[in-house]
Amino acid sequence: MVKMLIAVEDQEFYDHWGINPRRILVVAFENLLKMKIEAGASTITQQLARMLFLNREQTYTRKIKEALTAIKLERTYSKNEILETYLNLYYFHRAYGIAAAASVFFNKKPSELTINDCAILLGMLKGPTINSPFNNPDKSLQARNRVLYAYYKYGGISKDQYESLKDQPLDVNPQPEEVSGAPYFTEYIRQYIENTYGTDKLYNGGLKVYTTLDLPLQQSAEEAMTRHLDSLQRMVEARHDSYDPNYTFVVMKDGVRTHIYKRIEGAAISIDNKTGDILAMVGGHDFDKTQFNRATQALRQPGSTFKPFVYTAAIDNGWTPDSILFDNSIVLNIPGSPDWRPRNFDGEYMGRMTIREGLKLSRNMIAIKLLLKIRPELVVFYAQQMGITSPLRPVPSLAIGTSEVHLDEITSAYTVFPNGGIRIQPRAILKIVDRYGNILEDNSAIKKEEVLNEQTAYIMVNMLQSVLEPGGTGAGTRYRGFARPAGGKTGTSDNFCDTWFIGFTPQITTGVWMGFDDKTSIGHNMTGAVNALPVWTQIMLTAHRDLPQEDFPIPPGIVMADVCEESGKLATVHCPTIMREIFTEATVPTDSCAVHTRGGPYTSDRYRNVLPDTTSGSIRF
What positions carry a catalytic annotation?
Answer: 9, 304
Q: How many CB atoms lie within 10 A of CB 477?
A: 25
Nearby residues of 425 by Cβ (< 8 Å), 6 or more positions away: 276, 446, 447, 448, 449
Whole-number CA gyration radius for the chain: 33
Cβ pair 354, 376 in contact under 8 A? no
At 248, phi and psi to the nearest 5? -135, 165
Cβ pair 342, 400 in contact under 8 A? yes
Distance CA 65, CA 73 (A): 12
Nearby residues of 14 by Cβ (< 8 Å), 6 or more positions away: 6, 79
Q: What is the DSSP letter of 19?
A: S
Cβ pair 534, 480 in contact under 8 A? yes
Cβ pair 617, 485 in contact under 8 A? yes
Q: Please, where are the H alpha helices in 35-122?
A: 44-53, 60-76, 79-89, 98-106, 115-122
* Amino acid at position 226, single letter: T
Largest CA distance in the chain: 116
Cβ pair 402, 338 in contact under 8 A? no
Cβ pair 567, 534 in contact under 8 A? no
Distance CA 569, CA 35 (A): 93
